[in-house]
Amino acid sequence: MTIEGIANGVVIDHIRAGFGMKVLEFLGLSGRGDTVALIMNAVSKKHGRKDMIKLENIRDLNLDIIGLIDHNATVNYISNHKIVNKKQLSLPKKVENVLRCKNPRCVTSIEQVTHTFMLTADTGMYRCMYCDDLVKAEGELNISR
């Protein structure tokens, strides 16, 4: 299978196999009319299998969402068919309006406030700034849009 390169845009590479669709869904790119290529279960020397997303003429992405879904992914910015910037993702320390608190007694469930979560030390869990409930970053994401 041959997948052409892109002239300008972004390539999200090294996404854990099977998570590419989740990344696309949470980035909210459908319906915009942009050219998007999703490669699933591609062979990877580094990871065995991986997913990859190519986004033509798109530059503005929420890297927090990508980092929450798979913090081992890399984001390559392409200009004139060349990589001009490469970002290695990590779990963001603070996320706003990405995760949603599951606690029904939390103020975020009854008032329109910014959903703010802070990463706890090396656990991959996020703590709600209002009620201290914990949310796991990867796997069972409860992401708001």
Residue 104: CATH number of its domain = 2.30.30
Confidence of residue 145 (pLDDT cuts 50, 70, 90): very low
Domain that holds residue 104: 94-136
Residues 43 and 99 in one domain: no
Please report whether residue 26 resides in a domain.
yes
Give the distance from CA 142 to its chain's centroid.
13
Taking alpha carbons only, the member of 16, 56, 10 closest to residue 36 is: 56
Can you give the pLDDT at residue 86? 95
Please report whether residue 50 resides in a domain.
yes
Confidence of residue 140 (pLDDT cuts 50, 70, 90): very low
pLDDT one-digit tens code per residue, 51-98 = 999 999 887 888 888 888 888 899 999 999 999 999 999 888 998 888
Residues 15 and 47 in one domain: yes
The percent of residues in the chain predicted with pLDDT above 70, rounded, is 89
Please report whether residue 13 resides in a domain.
yes
* Cα 132 from Cα 134, distance rounded (Å): 6
Residues 80 and 99 in one domain: no
Q: Which residues contact 112 (CB under 8 A, 6 or more apart)?
A: none
Can you give the pLDDT at residue 98? 82
Please report whether residue 143 resides in a domain.
no
Residue 71, CB-side half-sphere exposure with 13 Å CA sphere = 12
Can you give the pLDDT at residue 122? 67
pLDDT one-digit tens code per residue, 16-65 = 999 998 888 888 876 677 788 899 998 888 778 999 999 998 878 888 88
Please report whether residue 64 resides in a domain.
yes
Please report whether residue 142 resides in a domain.
no
**What is the number of domains present in the chain?**
2
Confidence (pTM)? 0.79
Please report whether residue 144 resides in a domain.
no
* Cα 7 from Cα 69, distance rounded (Å): 26
User: What CATH number does the domain containing 44 carry?
Assistant: 3.30.70.140
Residues 131 and 62 in one domain: no
SS (H, E, C) 24-66: HHHHCCCCCCCCEEEEEEEEECCCEEEEEEEEECCCCCCHHHH
* Cα 28 from Cα 30, distance rounded (Å): 6
The DSSP element (H or E) to which 135 belongs, if any, is strand 134-136
* Average pLDDT of the chain to the nearest whole number: 85
Taking alpha carbons only, the member of 100, 90, 91, 92 closest to residue 141 is: 100
Residues 21 and 78 in one domain: yes
